[in-house]
Chains A and B, each alone.
Chain A
Amino acid sequence: MEAFIMNEDKVFCERVINELDKVLKNSQSLVQTFEVIQVPFKQNKSPIRLVHNHLGIESWCIRYVYQYAHQLIISHRKQNRLPASIVKYLNCAILINPDVATFWNIRRYLVERVQLNLTQEFQFSSLVLSKKPKSSEAFFYRRWLYSFQSGEAIDWAVEISLCERCSERKNGNYHAWNHRQWVLQKAPNLLSYEIIKTEKFIRKNIADYSCYHHRHFVLSKLFDIQYYDVHDNNLNEIYRFVNVGLSDEAKVNNLEGLIAYLFPNISIETINMTKLNSLLYLLNLIIYDLNMIEELILMHGKYEAFKSYKRVIISLALRIIKLCTYTDYLTIGHFTNTTKPLENTEIKTQNTVIEQLLNQLDSDDNNYIKIFF
């Protein structure tokens, strides 16, 4: 059989590539996924399959088709002849082997010469991601394509959904999470929605540390843009946290009391309320997360992800408490951005909240705390 195909190579490969091209031309906007279907031997019908919106190619033919498309593209590339008609070979070769940067670069070359349409290119790269959800080339290509569009015209939420789908399909999908961070830096207005999305993701995929890291990124960014929820600035988590072990008379139950407890040296009249609100919002979230992790430990036992996440969010909390305590960050109209270096021991003795936060770290993580906090 192999010899037969070798002889018929060209005709056969052209036929398969044309058929694939026809499907993509007629219904690329509808085709949602691409997959290589494991069929070890030749069947007496076309190796291209389209079932509903799912496109497939049978595995037995890909070695011939790929080698044919590959050779054809590279020989064109060597002669520097890159007509738009090369796209059907590129489609086929990239769907089978998405790692070849040179193939993607030829698409870029054609996009720059307006021989390829941006919408279709977005669709194609998303099809590639349906086959290989961690394709760094496909994500990179999408970032590059976006440089041709003005920010106002882009629906960034769609891009977040794509990242979410890719992360769902591949545990610890580094490139998908990186791409998501890139989107959020373009569209910081989406940051607040990430709070709910990442919690859901974490609860479904408890051992995917990439999502915990992403949530930490979201928390830090929310603080940077001084975010807080105008409609619901609920601080119950903080109150509950600081009131543990306090007598009824000493309990903190209003904002003034809370400020006095957290920052005894700062007078409320001089405080920038936006910054204060965002600080409290973030602290509240961090304490919420610490409780969530405790709950997850009860349900699932110990995971490295839990320990690692606790370390980084507590370290984030310490960083912002230090910023507010030892600089004029919270003061109206002043912020010098220079944190004077302080010894950790000095900070610990001055701030009971920090002490309480450190107590939240696992007791078996004592060495880490002693050295790094």
Chain B
Amino acid sequence: MDMEVNEERGTTHELLIKKHIEYVVNHGNDKNDFEYTMTEFLRMSGIYWGTTCLDIMGQLDKLDKKSIIEFIKKCQCGSSGGISACDGHDPHLLYTLSAIQILCTYDALHEIDIQAVGKYVQSLQQPDGSFFGDKWGEIDTRFSFCAAAILALTNQIHLIDVKKATEFVLSCANADGGFGSKPYAESHAGLIYCCVGFLSITHNLHRLEREKLAWWLCERQLKSGGLNGRPEKLPDVCYSWWVLASLTILGRLHWISSEKLKEFILLCQDADTGGFSARPGNMPDIFHTLFGVGALSLLGYQNLKKINPTFCMPEEIVQKLYQVQILES
């Protein structure tokens, strides 16, 4: 399923960097805002999307580093070691990863108890190699990625059974070459990114059906130039990231039309407020803004820092911390 792209409403083919910086910096300024309360449960990820996006645009210093680090310190759980989205919420691997990514960006891992984070991640691995997201026991390949990414960035990957974790991730592969959230679940570009990212971190990319998976990923590109996340779904800017990052890791970025995708992503900018939306004409949000900017960076857009496809962080930061596996094209 695709969409008609209407270019009439004051659209542009340039990246509106200034507008986007403004959008990210002002995001969440009104702390009494209803939307702000509604999204509190994912605040930590929101901050990660904002800081990373600004860093890629070379403007990280526009946010207050000190208050962000203070915020993160308050979110580490004293008993489990895990990190929550916001003070008063429960710790979870999703937000623990976001917090670690922000701290890496600020070169401030020492500000929290990293060993406790390591123990938290370790405690969530199951006998079949999979990971719970938190103590309540949901399993998902997203959590395998979070676990590996957290431990890689903090140099503690030895804490988990990587072999078993890899077997679990590979058990989520489908006949079409893609991956789902658990064994037998439908292939989904977001979860493919998690699985490919996991294998890139653990240097196991050779165990993938590379060509079949890349083929499936390429079929996500629609006539509008945008990418969807599954067959028959609408295009969405966030899949520009997940599909494109996976293709980059697989060394198959050149299998899709970069020009058409670039056009589609640029059409998703909000020329008035700044920020990117899922599709042209929708309301922008911080999540799609990072993935729009991130995808443009993967496509080699000028004036943007190079982004690492596995961690979705500036390449210069990842280089200092961990060597991921990327396949040659």
Residues of A that sit less than 8 Å from B by CB = 63, 66-67, 70, 74-75, 77-78, 97, 99-102, 105, 108, 140, 143-144, 172, 174, 177-178, 181, 207-210, 213-214, 216-217, 220, 303-305, 308, 311-312, 315-316, 319, 368, 371-372
Contacts and interface: CB of A to CB of B under 8 A. Distances in A.
Given A101-B41, A102-B90, A311-B176, A108 B136 contact: yes
Task: State the main secondary structure of chain A at its contact with B.
Answer: helix
B186 A63 contact: no
25 contacts: A67-B37, A78-B88, A97-B38, A97-B41, A99-B41, A101-B92, A101-B134, A140-B136, A172-B232, A174-B186, A178-B182, A181-B184, A209-B231, A210-B230, A304-B219, A304-B231, A308-B176, A311-B176, A312-B175, A312-B176, A319-B175, A368-B215, A371-B211, A371-B215, A372-B211
Given A181-B184, A371-B211, A77 B37 contact: no
Contacts of A213: 174, 186-187
Given A77-B88, A371-B211, A66 B232 contact: no
A144 B181 contact: no
Given A216-B175, A312-B175, A70 B1 contact: no
B90 A67 contact: no
A63 B38 CA distance: 9
A74 B185 CA distance: 34
A105 B37 contact: no
B-side interface size class: 35 or more
B128 interface: no
B212 A372 contact: yes
Contact of A178 (B34, B134, B181): B181
A208 B231 CA distance: 9
Interface string B130-159: 000010111000000000000000000000
A75 B232 CA distance: 44
A303 B232 contact: yes
A181 B38 contact: no
Contacts of A101: 41, 89-90, 92, 134
A181 B185 contact: yes
B113 interface: no
Interface in B216-257: 219, 230-233
Contacts of A311: 175-176
A66 B231 contact: no
Contacts of A177: 185-186
A217 B136 CA distance: 27
Contacts, number: 96
B40 interface: yes
A340 B312 CA distance: 40
Given A140-B138, A216-B175, A102 B89 contact: yes
Contacts of B233: 172
A305 B231 contact: yes
A204 B280 CA distance: 30
B87 interface: yes
A131 to B, nearest CB: 14
B215 A105 contact: no
Interface in B37-80: 37-38, 40-42
Contact of A63 (B34, B84, B188): B34
A75 B88 CA distance: 7
Contacts of A75: 88
Nearest to B89: A102
Interface string B170-191: 0000111000111011111000
Contacts of A74: 88-89
Contacts of A209: 186, 230-232
